[in-house]
Copies of this chain bind each other. A is one copy, B any other.
Amino acid sequence: MAEHMRIMLPGPTPCPDEVLRALSRPMINHRGPEFVKIVNACTEGVKWLYQTKNDLLTLTTSGTGAMESAVVNVLSPGDKVLALVSGEFGKRFAAIARAYGADVDALEVPYGEPVTPEIVASKLDEGTRYAAVLLTHNETSTALLNPIAAIARVIRERLPDTLILVDAVSGMGTAPLPADELDLDVVVAGAQKAFMLPPGLAFASVSPRAWEAYQHAKMPRFYFDYGKARDFLAKGQTPWTPAISLFFGLEVAVRLLREEGLDGIFKRHERLMRMVRAGARGLGLKLVVSEERYASRAVTGIYAPEGMDPAVLRKTLQARFGYVVAGGQGPLTSTIFRVGHLGYYDEADMLGLIAALEATLVSLGEDVTPGAGVAAAQAELMPTKAMAW
Protein backbone atom coordinates (compact mmCIF):
# COMPACT_ATOMS: atom_id res chain seq x y z
CA MET A 1 0.00 0.00 0.00
CA ALA A 2 1.19 3.50 -0.74
CA GLU A 3 2.29 5.35 2.33
CA HIS A 4 -0.37 7.61 3.80
CA MET A 5 1.72 10.50 5.00
CA ARG A 6 0.33 12.43 7.95
CA ILE A 7 2.30 15.61 8.48
CA MET A 8 2.19 17.11 11.96
CA LEU A 9 4.71 19.86 11.52
CA PRO A 10 4.71 23.47 12.64
CA GLY A 11 4.19 24.34 8.97
CA PRO A 12 3.54 23.36 6.33
CA THR A 13 0.34 21.91 7.73
CA PRO A 14 -2.41 19.94 5.98
CA CYS A 15 -4.88 22.00 3.97
CA PRO A 16 -8.62 21.47 3.49
CA ASP A 17 -9.49 19.76 0.21
CA GLU A 18 -11.45 22.81 -0.85
CA VAL A 19 -8.35 24.95 -0.46
CA LEU A 20 -6.13 22.51 -2.34
CA ARG A 21 -8.60 22.24 -5.18
CA ALA A 22 -8.77 26.02 -5.50
CA LEU A 23 -5.03 26.01 -6.24
CA SER A 24 -5.71 24.19 -9.51
CA ARG A 25 -7.81 26.93 -11.02
CA PRO A 26 -6.57 28.29 -14.36
CA MET A 27 -4.57 31.50 -14.29
CA ILE A 28 -6.29 34.86 -14.55
CA ASN A 29 -4.99 38.37 -15.13
CA HIS A 30 -3.53 39.74 -11.90
CA ARG A 31 -4.24 43.23 -13.24
CA GLY A 32 -7.89 42.48 -14.05
CA PRO A 33 -11.15 43.01 -12.13
CA GLU A 34 -11.55 39.31 -11.24
CA PHE A 35 -8.33 39.35 -9.26
CA VAL A 36 -9.20 42.63 -7.54
CA LYS A 37 -12.18 40.91 -5.92
CA ILE A 38 -9.99 38.09 -4.68
CA VAL A 39 -7.31 40.40 -3.28
CA ASN A 40 -9.91 42.46 -1.45
CA ALA A 41 -11.68 39.41 0.00
CA CYS A 42 -8.37 37.93 1.16
CA THR A 43 -7.24 41.22 2.68
CA GLU A 44 -10.48 41.64 4.60
CA GLY A 45 -10.31 38.05 5.84
CA VAL A 46 -6.74 38.30 7.04
CA LYS A 47 -7.47 41.63 8.76
CA TRP A 48 -10.31 39.91 10.57
CA LEU A 49 -7.97 37.22 11.91
CA TYR A 50 -5.45 39.92 12.83
CA GLN A 51 -8.22 41.90 14.53
CA THR A 52 -6.82 45.01 12.93
CA LYS A 53 -7.95 48.08 11.06
CA ASN A 54 -4.36 48.82 10.03
CA ASP A 55 -3.22 48.31 6.46
CA LEU A 56 -2.69 44.65 5.70
CA LEU A 57 -0.23 43.79 2.94
CA THR A 58 0.11 40.37 1.34
CA LEU A 59 3.56 39.47 0.06
CA THR A 60 4.66 36.60 -2.17
CA THR A 61 7.41 35.24 0.06
CA SER A 62 8.19 32.86 2.88
CA GLY A 63 7.73 34.02 6.46
CA THR A 64 11.39 34.99 6.69
CA GLY A 65 10.92 37.46 3.84
CA ALA A 66 8.02 39.01 5.74
CA MET A 67 10.26 39.34 8.82
CA GLU A 68 12.82 41.10 6.65
CA SER A 69 10.11 43.39 5.31
CA ALA A 70 9.17 44.45 8.84
CA VAL A 71 12.73 45.53 9.52
CA VAL A 72 13.68 47.26 6.28
CA ASN A 73 10.55 49.37 5.91
CA VAL A 74 10.69 51.19 9.22
CA LEU A 75 14.34 51.32 10.30
CA SER A 76 17.60 52.96 9.25
CA PRO A 77 21.14 51.64 9.53
CA GLY A 78 22.52 52.47 12.96
CA ASP A 79 19.13 52.45 14.69
CA LYS A 80 19.18 50.99 18.19
CA VAL A 81 16.98 47.89 18.27
CA LEU A 82 16.12 45.56 21.11
CA ALA A 83 15.60 41.94 20.06
CA LEU A 84 13.80 39.71 22.55
CA VAL A 85 15.15 36.24 21.83
CA SER A 86 13.62 33.02 23.11
CA GLY A 87 14.83 30.67 20.38
CA GLU A 88 15.96 30.23 16.79
CA PHE A 89 13.33 32.51 15.28
CA GLY A 90 14.08 35.28 17.72
CA LYS A 91 17.72 34.93 16.71
CA ARG A 92 16.71 35.11 13.05
CA PHE A 93 14.79 38.35 13.57
CA ALA A 94 17.86 39.87 15.27
CA ALA A 95 20.14 38.57 12.49
CA ILE A 96 17.98 40.22 9.83
CA ALA A 97 18.12 43.57 11.63
CA ARG A 98 21.91 43.24 11.96
CA ALA A 99 22.29 42.30 8.29
CA TYR A 100 20.70 45.64 7.40
CA GLY A 101 22.89 47.60 9.77
CA ALA A 102 20.75 48.03 12.87
CA ASP A 103 22.56 48.27 16.20
CA VAL A 104 20.94 45.30 17.91
CA ASP A 105 20.86 44.53 21.62
CA ALA A 106 19.71 40.94 22.00
CA LEU A 107 18.02 40.00 25.25
CA GLU A 108 18.16 36.21 25.31
CA VAL A 109 16.31 33.90 27.66
CA PRO A 110 17.16 30.21 28.11
CA TYR A 111 15.60 27.86 25.55
CA GLY A 112 12.18 26.73 26.72
CA GLU A 113 11.59 29.80 28.86
CA PRO A 114 9.47 32.80 27.86
CA VAL A 115 10.45 36.41 27.57
CA THR A 116 8.64 37.84 30.59
CA PRO A 117 7.40 41.40 31.02
CA GLU A 118 9.63 41.65 34.09
CA ILE A 119 12.81 40.94 32.11
CA VAL A 120 11.78 43.42 29.45
CA ALA A 121 10.91 46.09 32.02
CA SER A 122 14.24 45.66 33.70
CA LYS A 123 16.08 45.93 30.37
CA LEU A 124 14.18 49.01 29.28
CA ASP A 125 14.70 50.66 32.65
CA GLU A 126 18.40 50.81 31.82
CA GLY A 127 17.29 53.80 29.78
CA THR A 128 18.24 53.05 26.17
CA ARG A 129 15.84 54.66 23.73
CA TYR A 130 15.22 51.95 21.18
CA ALA A 131 13.86 52.74 17.74
CA ALA A 132 12.22 49.33 17.71
CA VAL A 133 11.69 46.19 19.74
CA LEU A 134 11.57 42.85 17.93
CA LEU A 135 9.26 40.24 19.44
CA THR A 136 8.46 36.63 18.65
CA HIS A 137 4.84 35.72 19.28
CA ASN A 138 5.09 31.96 18.93
CA GLU A 139 8.70 30.74 19.13
CA THR A 140 8.44 27.62 17.00
CA SER A 141 11.88 26.24 17.83
CA THR A 142 11.10 25.80 21.51
CA ALA A 143 7.31 25.49 21.09
CA LEU A 144 6.76 28.50 23.27
CA LEU A 145 4.11 31.21 23.40
CA ASN A 146 5.51 34.49 24.62
CA PRO A 147 3.19 36.71 26.72
CA ILE A 148 3.02 39.34 24.01
CA ALA A 149 0.19 41.38 25.54
CA ALA A 150 2.04 41.93 28.79
CA ILE A 151 5.32 42.59 27.02
CA ALA A 152 3.73 45.12 24.69
CA ARG A 153 2.22 46.93 27.67
CA VAL A 154 5.58 47.17 29.40
CA ILE A 155 7.18 48.57 26.25
CA ARG A 156 4.43 51.10 25.60
CA GLU A 157 4.49 52.39 29.17
CA ARG A 158 8.17 53.16 28.89
CA LEU A 159 8.67 53.93 25.20
CA PRO A 160 5.44 55.25 23.74
CA ASP A 161 6.95 56.01 20.32
CA THR A 162 9.09 52.91 19.89
CA LEU A 163 8.08 50.57 17.12
CA ILE A 164 6.93 47.12 18.16
CA LEU A 165 7.63 44.62 15.38
CA VAL A 166 6.15 41.17 15.91
CA ASP A 167 7.08 37.91 14.24
CA ALA A 168 3.74 36.12 14.34
CA VAL A 169 4.69 33.95 11.36
CA SER A 170 3.63 30.75 13.08
CA GLY A 171 1.48 32.17 15.87
CA MET A 172 -1.13 34.27 14.08
CA GLY A 173 -4.45 32.47 14.30
CA THR A 174 -3.33 29.97 16.93
CA ALA A 175 -3.74 32.35 19.87
CA PRO A 176 -5.34 35.79 20.10
CA LEU A 177 -3.04 38.55 18.92
CA PRO A 178 -5.24 41.62 18.50
CA ALA A 179 -2.79 43.87 16.67
CA ASP A 180 -4.71 47.11 17.31
CA GLU A 181 -5.67 46.49 20.93
CA LEU A 182 -2.03 45.72 21.75
CA ASP A 183 -0.84 48.70 19.68
CA LEU A 184 1.58 46.60 17.62
CA ASP A 185 3.21 48.37 14.69
CA VAL A 186 4.15 45.66 12.25
CA VAL A 187 2.89 42.12 12.67
CA VAL A 188 3.97 39.51 10.14
CA ALA A 189 2.38 36.12 9.61
CA GLY A 190 2.77 33.18 7.23
CA ALA A 191 0.01 31.58 5.22
CA GLN A 192 1.23 28.01 5.68
CA LYS A 193 0.32 28.05 9.35
CA ALA A 194 -3.08 28.60 10.97
CA PHE A 195 -4.30 29.97 7.63
CA MET A 196 -4.45 26.38 6.29
CA LEU A 197 -2.73 27.31 3.05
CA PRO A 198 0.43 25.96 1.40
CA PRO A 199 3.50 28.18 1.88
CA GLY A 200 4.33 31.10 -0.40
CA LEU A 201 2.30 34.02 0.92
CA ALA A 202 2.96 36.10 4.01
CA PHE A 203 1.27 39.09 5.60
CA ALA A 204 2.24 42.32 7.30
CA SER A 205 -0.03 44.71 9.18
CA VAL A 206 1.29 48.26 9.28
CA SER A 207 0.20 50.82 11.90
CA PRO A 208 0.08 54.59 11.41
CA ARG A 209 3.18 54.82 13.63
CA ALA A 210 4.96 52.38 11.30
CA TRP A 211 3.91 54.38 8.24
CA GLU A 212 5.32 57.50 9.87
CA ALA A 213 8.60 55.65 10.43
CA TYR A 214 8.51 54.39 6.84
CA GLN A 215 8.77 58.00 5.62
CA HIS A 216 12.19 58.37 7.20
CA ALA A 217 13.51 54.80 7.17
CA LYS A 218 16.72 54.49 5.20
CA MET A 219 17.34 50.76 5.01
CA PRO A 220 17.35 49.76 1.34
CA ARG A 221 14.32 47.91 0.02
CA PHE A 222 12.60 47.30 -3.26
CA TYR A 223 10.73 44.01 -3.57
CA PHE A 224 9.48 44.29 0.02
CA ASP A 225 8.66 48.01 -0.14
CA TYR A 226 5.48 48.61 1.86
CA GLY A 227 4.72 51.91 0.16
CA LYS A 228 4.53 50.26 -3.26
CA ALA A 229 2.39 47.47 -1.79
CA ARG A 230 0.02 50.01 -0.24
CA ASP A 231 -0.30 51.98 -3.47
CA PHE A 232 -1.20 48.88 -5.46
CA LEU A 233 -3.49 47.51 -2.73
CA ALA A 234 -5.55 50.67 -3.11
CA LYS A 235 -6.33 49.32 -6.61
CA GLY A 236 -6.82 45.75 -5.34
CA GLN A 237 -3.47 44.70 -6.76
CA THR A 238 0.08 43.85 -5.77
CA PRO A 239 3.12 45.70 -7.14
CA TRP A 240 4.73 42.50 -8.45
CA THR A 241 3.10 39.46 -10.04
CA PRO A 242 1.77 37.57 -7.00
CA ALA A 243 1.41 33.84 -6.37
CA ILE A 244 -2.05 33.82 -7.95
CA SER A 245 -2.85 30.17 -7.13
CA LEU A 246 -2.22 30.78 -3.46
CA PHE A 247 -4.57 33.76 -3.52
CA PHE A 248 -7.24 31.41 -4.94
CA GLY A 249 -6.61 29.13 -1.98
CA LEU A 250 -6.48 31.96 0.54
CA GLU A 251 -9.88 33.24 -0.53
CA VAL A 252 -11.34 29.84 0.33
CA ALA A 253 -9.32 29.49 3.53
CA VAL A 254 -10.39 32.82 5.01
CA ARG A 255 -14.01 31.92 4.29
CA LEU A 256 -13.59 28.64 6.18
CA LEU A 257 -11.89 30.45 9.05
CA ARG A 258 -14.69 33.01 9.29
CA GLU A 259 -17.24 30.21 9.38
CA GLU A 260 -15.44 28.75 12.39
CA GLY A 261 -15.13 32.14 14.08
CA LEU A 262 -12.26 33.67 16.02
CA ASP A 263 -13.34 32.11 19.29
CA GLY A 264 -13.72 28.69 17.70
CA ILE A 265 -10.29 28.87 16.05
CA PHE A 266 -8.47 29.91 19.21
CA LYS A 267 -10.29 27.39 21.42
CA ARG A 268 -9.62 24.59 18.97
CA HIS A 269 -5.90 25.33 18.96
CA GLU A 270 -5.85 25.53 22.75
CA ARG A 271 -7.70 22.23 23.10
CA LEU A 272 -5.38 20.44 20.65
CA MET A 273 -2.38 21.78 22.54
CA ARG A 274 -3.84 20.43 25.81
CA MET A 275 -4.52 17.05 24.27
CA VAL A 276 -0.94 16.68 23.00
CA ARG A 277 0.54 17.85 26.28
CA ALA A 278 -1.68 15.55 28.33
CA GLY A 279 -0.98 12.67 25.97
CA ALA A 280 2.78 13.17 26.15
CA ARG A 281 2.70 13.34 29.93
CA GLY A 282 0.50 10.24 29.99
CA LEU A 283 3.30 8.50 28.11
CA GLY A 284 5.80 9.64 30.70
CA LEU A 285 7.43 12.16 28.39
CA LYS A 286 8.75 15.52 29.49
CA LEU A 287 7.62 18.75 27.85
CA VAL A 288 10.05 21.48 26.80
CA VAL A 289 7.74 24.20 28.09
CA SER A 290 6.50 23.21 31.50
CA GLU A 291 3.96 25.96 32.21
CA GLU A 292 0.81 25.69 30.15
CA ARG A 293 0.31 29.45 29.91
CA TYR A 294 3.56 29.64 27.92
CA ALA A 295 2.88 26.54 25.86
CA SER A 296 2.64 27.17 22.13
CA ARG A 297 -0.81 26.70 20.65
CA ALA A 298 0.90 25.83 17.35
CA VAL A 299 3.42 23.15 18.23
CA THR A 300 4.41 21.10 21.27
CA GLY A 301 8.04 20.33 22.06
CA ILE A 302 8.57 16.96 23.74
CA TYR A 303 11.78 15.40 25.03
CA ALA A 304 12.52 11.93 23.72
CA PRO A 305 12.80 9.33 26.51
CA GLU A 306 16.15 9.29 28.30
CA GLY A 307 18.70 7.56 26.10
CA MET A 308 16.56 7.56 22.95
CA ASP A 309 17.64 9.52 19.88
CA PRO A 310 14.62 11.61 18.84
CA ALA A 311 15.63 11.07 15.21
CA VAL A 312 15.10 7.32 15.67
CA LEU A 313 11.74 7.92 17.30
CA ARG A 314 10.62 10.21 14.45
CA LYS A 315 11.86 7.82 11.79
CA THR A 316 10.08 4.85 13.36
CA LEU A 317 6.88 6.82 13.83
CA GLN A 318 6.88 7.75 10.15
CA ALA A 319 7.94 4.37 8.80
CA ARG A 320 5.30 2.47 10.78
CA PHE A 321 2.39 4.93 10.90
CA GLY A 322 3.10 7.69 8.40
CA TYR A 323 3.14 10.48 10.99
CA VAL A 324 5.74 13.12 10.21
CA VAL A 325 6.73 15.20 13.23
CA ALA A 326 9.51 17.77 13.40
CA GLY A 327 12.91 17.53 15.02
CA GLY A 328 14.41 20.04 17.41
CA GLN A 329 16.35 23.09 16.34
CA GLY A 330 19.55 24.66 17.64
CA PRO A 331 20.69 23.28 21.01
CA LEU A 332 17.56 21.12 21.30
CA THR A 333 18.25 19.18 18.09
CA SER A 334 19.53 16.03 19.76
CA THR A 335 16.98 15.83 22.56
CA ILE A 336 13.47 16.80 21.45
CA PHE A 337 10.83 16.30 18.79
CA ARG A 338 7.97 18.64 17.98
CA VAL A 339 4.36 17.93 17.12
CA GLY A 340 2.60 20.57 15.06
CA HIS A 341 -1.09 21.17 15.72
CA LEU A 342 -1.82 24.43 13.99
CA GLY A 343 -4.04 24.85 11.01
CA TYR A 344 -6.34 22.21 9.63
CA TYR A 345 -6.31 19.77 12.58
CA ASP A 346 -9.01 18.47 14.87
CA GLU A 347 -9.31 16.30 17.96
CA ALA A 348 -9.28 13.01 16.05
CA ASP A 349 -5.93 13.95 14.54
CA MET A 350 -4.44 14.38 18.01
CA LEU A 351 -5.88 11.12 19.33
CA GLY A 352 -4.44 9.32 16.33
CA LEU A 353 -1.02 10.88 16.77
CA ILE A 354 -0.86 10.06 20.48
CA ALA A 355 -1.97 6.49 19.82
CA ALA A 356 0.68 6.03 17.14
CA LEU A 357 3.34 7.65 19.32
CA GLU A 358 2.40 5.28 22.12
CA ALA A 359 2.68 2.22 19.88
CA THR A 360 6.00 3.48 18.54
CA LEU A 361 7.46 3.92 22.01
CA VAL A 362 6.34 0.41 22.95
CA SER A 363 7.91 -1.00 19.79
CA LEU A 364 11.17 0.75 20.67
CA GLY A 365 11.20 -1.01 24.04
CA GLU A 366 9.99 1.82 26.23
CA ASP A 367 8.09 0.91 29.37
CA VAL A 368 4.77 2.52 28.44
CA THR A 369 1.35 1.35 29.54
CA PRO A 370 -0.63 0.85 26.31
CA GLY A 371 -3.53 3.27 26.31
CA ALA A 372 -2.09 5.63 28.90
CA GLY A 373 -1.30 8.42 26.47
CA VAL A 374 -4.61 8.27 24.68
CA ALA A 375 -6.49 8.09 27.96
CA ALA A 376 -4.78 11.24 29.16
CA ALA A 377 -5.46 13.04 25.89
CA GLN A 378 -9.09 11.94 25.96
CA ALA A 379 -9.51 13.33 29.45
CA GLU A 380 -9.10 16.77 27.89
CA LEU A 381 -12.31 16.12 25.98
CA MET A 382 -14.39 15.32 29.06
CA PRO A 383 -17.45 17.55 29.67
CA THR A 384 -16.10 19.25 32.78
CA LYS A 385 -12.95 20.35 30.99
CA ALA A 386 -14.86 21.38 27.91
CA MET A 387 -17.32 23.33 30.02
CA ALA A 388 -14.49 25.19 31.66
CA TRP A 389 -13.81 26.78 28.25
A245: which of B26, B61, B200 is its contact (CB, 8 Å)?
B200
Known contacts A243-B198, A243-B199, A243-B200; A26/B32 CB under 8 A: no
Which B residues are in CB contact (< 8 Å) with A100?
220, 222
User: B-facing mask of A1-38, CB < 8 A → 1, else 0?
Assistant: 00001010101111100001101111111111010000
Interface residue? A384 (CB, 8 A) = no
A9 and B29 contacting across the interface, CB-CB below 8 Å: yes
B241 and A12 contacting across the interface, CB-CB below 8 Å: yes
B222 and A220 contacting across the interface, CB-CB below 8 Å: no
Residue of B nearest to A228 (CB): B64
Interface residue? A185 (CB, 8 A) = no
Known contacts A25-B20, A27-B198; A68/B245 CB under 8 A: no
A31 to B221, CA, bound (A): 29
Known contacts A200-B200, A243-B200, A243-B246; A220/B223 CB under 8 A: no
A14: which of B27, B192, B199, B324 is its contact (CB, 8 Å)?
B27
Mark out the residues of chain A between 217 and 241 whose CB falls within 8 Å of any chain B CB in the assembled complex.
219-223, 239-241
Distance in Å from the Cβ of A6 to the closest Cβ of chain B?
10
Which B residues are in CB contact (< 8 Å) with A240?
62-65
Distance in Å from the Cβ of A102 to the closest Cβ of chain B?
10
Which B residues are in CB contact (< 8 Å) with A24?
20-21, 23-24
Interface residue? A41 (CB, 8 A) = no
Interface residue? A176 (CB, 8 A) = no
A23 to B249, CA, bound (A): 11
A15 and B26 contacting across the interface, CB-CB below 8 Å: yes
A7 and B23 contacting across the interface, CB-CB below 8 Å: no
Interface residue? A178 (CB, 8 A) = no
Known contacts A23-B23, A244-B199; A99/B15 CB under 8 A: no
User: B-facing mask of A230-271, CB < 8 A → 1, else 0?
Assistant: 000000000111111110000000000000000000000000
A200 and B60 contacting across the interface, CB-CB below 8 Å: yes
A221 to B64, CA, bound (A): 12
A226 to B45, CA, bound (A): 34
Known contacts A198-B27, A324-B32; A222/B9 CB under 8 A: no
**CB-based closest 4 A-B pairs:** A200-B243, A62-B240, A12-B27, A65-B223
Known: A5-B26, A32-B324, A60-B199. 16 other contacts (CB 8 A): A11-B241, A12-B244, A14-B26, A20-B24, A21-B24, A28-B324, A61-B65, A62-B242, A64-B222, A64-B240, A65-B223, A68-B223, A99-B221, A200-B243, A200-B245, A243-B246
| Contacts from A to B (Cβ < 8 Å) | 5, 7, 9, 11-15, 20-21, 23-32, 34, 60-65, 68, 95-96, 99-101, 190, 192, 198-200, 219-223, 239-246, 324, 326
List 19 A-B pairs, Cβ < 8 Å. Answer: A15-B26, A29-B324, A30-B199, A31-B326, A60-B65, A62-B223, A62-B240, A68-B222, A99-B220, A192-B241, A192-B244, A198-B243, A198-B245, A199-B243, A199-B244, A200-B243, A200-B244, A200-B245, A219-B220
